[in-house]
A and B are shown apart, each in its own frame.
Chain A
Amino acid sequence: MAKISPKNVTAQFSYRAAGNPPSTLPQGAISNFFPGLEFDLRSLWKHIFEGIELHESGLVSGGHQVLAVTPGSPGDIAGVRPLFRLLSVDGRPVESRGMSDQGPMPERFAMEFFNSLADAVQKAGQPVRCVFRNPQNNATVNADLVVQPIFEGVAFSKKLLEAGSMTQGLCSPWQADYRECGCYYWAASRPDYINVQVVAGQARGHNWMQRNRGPADDYLPDAPQDPRQFNYNDLYTNWEHVLTFVVGGKETE
């Protein structure tokens, strides 16, 4: 096999290493990261601070949960313990607010919460002030924790991630998770709003999960328990019959 070894940054990130799938190239990337169709970006945050392991998914509200603290690390010495919650980093709150531009949105807890640590990446190698809350007594604990660099060259740091951790938590909408996808990201060939007709500026169509999709049937908001919609069992055992291809916005047989 020809020996080709990329040297500079552009060469490295546009060269597909042996064994990597096409989606590891910028031009082939799907760029969906929540929890992701190609990488689960949340895995990066688990070890972003030296000496502390965080839960990668965060929790719905109240800040990332601490899973483990290395004995003798600055966090340990400052009194941070497992189950504590991370409230802010470097003066910026990182806990979920359950808010959107439109106000509170209790049913969709701030998706971007998971990436609220992205800011810290800029401070690689430096200590930043982290504020934790002890859930037992609500007391706060401050610790100055060093931010780990997330890159080695143009690849993710091996110190931060074990092999496979960027893909272990991916969603798999094409296998089973149709209903569970929190970000409504679907391939163009399988849109979730179908048979759409625009009449006088108003769009009318069907939720792809609803059983009856005649011209007179209106859109049903997603509700797994609604008998008028496909249930989990239908989707697990019979997905290829209940979800057909959509061509030109219309379902096909």
Chain B
Amino acid sequence: MNARFAPAPRHPDLHLFESGGAPHLFLPNGSRIFEIDEDVVSALETALHEGGATVPDLLARFGLAAPPFVTDEVPESFATRALSLAISQKCNLGCTYCYADGGSFGEAPRNMPHDIALAAVDGLLRDAGRGERYTVAFLGGEPLANRAALRAAVERANHWAERSGAHVGFSVTTNATLVTAEDAAFFDKFGFAVTVSLDGVGDVHDRQRPFKGGRGSFQRIVERLGPLLAMRRAQVTARVTVTRENLSLHETLDGLLGLGFYGVGFSPMLKSPSGKGEMAAAELGRLLEEMIACGHECERRLLAGGHYGFLNLLTALQEIHRGTHRPYPCGAGAGYVAASADGGLYACHRFVGDDIAAMGTVAGGVDAGRQSDWLVARHVHKQEPCRTCWARYLCGGGCHHEVIGRGRVACDYIRGWLQYCLQAYVRLLEARPDMFPPGNSFRDADALPADAVTSQP
């Protein structure tokens, strides 16, 4: 990282960074990136040294002013376009940090009854319109502990899709210990996006994700991965929860890609029910170094014309290219809600059972009042110190679950990582323009969870 411009926030309206030896300007408003010359840099630096009050005028003089891309206006409601089902609130693993407290979210382990799963799907899709896009996600617990209900829900969703002409995509996050060849064929048939939770290779994984009895789960998972990785329609990715115990990311990345995964994404553990595994500030510094090292490797491979499935970087690059500017970190409580096994609705899968983010019931639908309160309270313009942070519209204010539970402890990490991604973007835009095709190359905006840019869970 170049020492000239540090990632620390200096002014709410701009951020300077260097890439390829040239100064660049990042404008949070619209997440816009410009290459600038030294005259512009020194004019901006002078304005910053004088306290920053003249920055808006200066930007206007350079033709860089624009009406706010994100205003204070809060959407009053949101149609639900993504629904996750805690199809099974039980799990056969005993991960050290589990946000769901062993899958049950601190309650008695149980499966979601068929009628609740079907009612949740009906609520999502009953009034779907032709051409609209929806996502149904299966989470847990371990979703395959209740595969009958999972399959019934998929069947019901497809029934509505056929009737309405809407497009329904499916995703599942699994620990892969229970997956069978039939499951893989089923996922393939319906084009599932399959995410396998794996925290490393061999012992590294086993230390964090043992079976309930304490035995390691890695070997079992590898035995079961074959049919999944052979799927033709769906791409299978691995998701790594990073604690202080598995910080050798480059090794993990290469190890998991070597197993045959299309891509690997890392999420730091910032909030667990017991506090176990939560990363402290010093460890986040190390995490940043590790992430950037993976990034450099990814750049190297991309520059050589290849592919390298480091999802955190690949997704961030696409979002940066589009100039994503979000008033929220993710769709939680907005276009996305999660259903619990007993038929409650919550802002997202991690809030299942938590009243703070209750959003109504499967039977009664999303509670408009609660949703509106949530959207008002969680808007990034209402968050401190986000209001004045240059990264606010890429970050969105940080994962609600972590921020509400632990506060904003990862901001230096988030900004450091985003600054690296900005630099890499400028380099790759030049060298690999084919990665950023013109026109409508937009990904499904409702994809779940919205974790890429800031590595949120």
Smallest Cβ distance from A28 to chain B, in angstroms? 10
Q: Are B439 and A6 in contact (CB-based, < 8 A)? A: no
Q: State whether the Cβ of B144 lies closer than 8 Å to any Cβ in chain A.
A: no
Known: A10-B31, A11-B323. A4 touches B64 (CB 8 A): yes
Q: Which residue numbers of B lie inside 8 Å of A, CB to CB?
A: 24-25, 27, 30-37, 39-40, 43, 62-64, 66-67, 69, 320-323, 325, 425-426, 429, 438-440
The dominant DSSP class at the A interface is loop
Q: Are A10 and B30 in contact (CB-based, < 8 A)? A: yes
Rank and list the top 3 A-B pairs by shortest CB-CB distance, nearest first.
A10-B323, A11-B32, A3-B37
Q: State whether the Cβ of A78 lies closer than 8 Å to any Cβ in chain B.
A: no
Q: State whether the Cβ of A15 lies closer than 8 Å to any Cβ in chain B.
A: yes
- Name the CB-closest residue of B to A155: B438
Smallest Cβ distance from A155 to chain B, in angstroms? 9
Q: Are B322 and A10 in contact (CB-based, < 8 A)? A: yes
Q: Which residue of B63, B69, B426 is within 8 Å of A10 (Cβ)?
A: B69
Residues of A within 8 A of B34 (CB): 4-7, 11, 15
- Name the CB-closest residue of B to A6: B34
Residues of A within 8 A of B33 (CB): 6-8, 11
Q: State whether the Cβ of A136 lies closer than 8 Å to any Cβ in chain B.
A: no
Q: Which residue numbers of A lie inside 8 Å of B, CB to CB?
A: 2-11, 14-16, 25, 27, 121-122, 124, 149-154
A-B contact pairs, 29 of them (CB 8 A): A2-B36, A2-B39, A2-B40, A2-B43, A2-B62, A3-B36, A3-B40, A4-B36, A4-B40, A4-B64, A6-B33, A7-B35, A7-B425, A7-B426, A8-B31, A8-B320, A8-B429, A9-B322, A10-B32, A10-B325, A11-B30, A11-B34, A11-B323, A27-B66, A124-B439, A149-B438, A151-B438, A152-B438, A153-B438
Smallest Cβ distance from B185 to chain A, in angstroms? 30
Known: A7-B24, A8-B320, A8-B323. A14 touches B32 (CB 8 A): yes
- Name the CB-closest residue of A to B38: A3
Smallest Cβ distance from B161 to chain A, in angstroms? 20
Known: A9-B321, A152-B438. A4 touches B63 (CB 8 A): yes
Smallest Cβ distance from B377 to chain A, in angstroms? 27
Smallest Cβ distance from B321 to chain A, in angstroms? 5
Q: Which residue of A7, A8, A15 is within 8 Å of B64 (Cβ)?
A: A15
Residues of A within 8 A of B69 (CB): 10
Most buried by B among A7, A14, A121, A154: A7
Smallest Cβ distance from B431 to chain A, in angstroms? 13
Known: A8-B320, A11-B323, A124-B439. A16 touches B31 (CB 8 A): no
